């Protein structure tokens, strides 16, 4: 089981390819707050709902000084199809080696349909302008999560 992060911890830095295979680094966002959310798989019902919620709330999040990055183990080509099909307007990052997922504690044992399985733990992090974890939320629900996040962040 990977270590879980908490508020005040330094956010593990990373560079991952986006859907167009361009490298995106967390350090590119230094000086701004960023929401990094981890999801199991592009184009699945829950992940689509969550991504579309972020898309639909992106203007308000951006206006509050928050950028959004989605991370999954999917390859860039699958992320590109997902982005284009759903009209997603924020970067989707590919972590097939699960290095970043593990660094954030977003990969490991979880309960699914009453069974213990190993996989992506749906998680969301808010990282402050100095690169520290402001919020760490594990086992979030795909539906209603963005509304809860906006409420927690007073956006």
- Give dist(CA 76, CA 80) in Å, integer: 6
Exposed, middle or buried, 103 (CB in 10 Å: 0-12/13-18/19+)?
middle
Q: Give the pLDDT of the chain (155 residues) as one tens digit per residue.
A: 458 899 999 999 999 999 999 999 999 999 999 999 999 988 887 788 889 999 999 999 999 999 999 999 999 999 999 999 999 999 999 999 999 999 999 998 887 778 888 888 889 999 999 999 999 999 888 888 888 888 888 88
Domains of the chain: 15-153 (3.40.30.10)
Active site residues: 47
| 95 closest CA partner among 8, 4, 12, 10 | 12
pTM of the model as a whole: 0.92
Q: Residues 42, 72: contact at Cβ < 8 Å?
A: yes
């Amino acid at each position: 089981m990977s270590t879980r992060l908490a508020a005040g911890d330094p956010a593990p830095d990373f560079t991952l390819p986006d859907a167009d295979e361009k490298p995106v680094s967390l350090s590119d966002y230094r000086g701004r707050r960023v929401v990094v959310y981890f999801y199991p798989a592009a184009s699945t019902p829950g992940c689509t709902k969550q991504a579309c919620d972020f898309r639909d709330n992106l203007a308000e999040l951006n206006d509050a000084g928050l950028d959004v990055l989605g991370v999954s183990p999917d390859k860039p080509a699958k992320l590109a199809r997902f982005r284009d099909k759903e009209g997603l307007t924020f970067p989707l990052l590919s972590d097939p080696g699960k290095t970043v997922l593990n660094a954030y504690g977003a990969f490991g044992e979880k309960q699914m349909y009453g069974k213990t399985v190993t996989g992506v733990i749906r998680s969301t992090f808010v990282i402050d302008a100095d690169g520290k974890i402001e919020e760490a939320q594990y086992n979030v629900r795909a539906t209603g999560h963005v509304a809860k996040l906006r409420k927690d962040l007073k956006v």
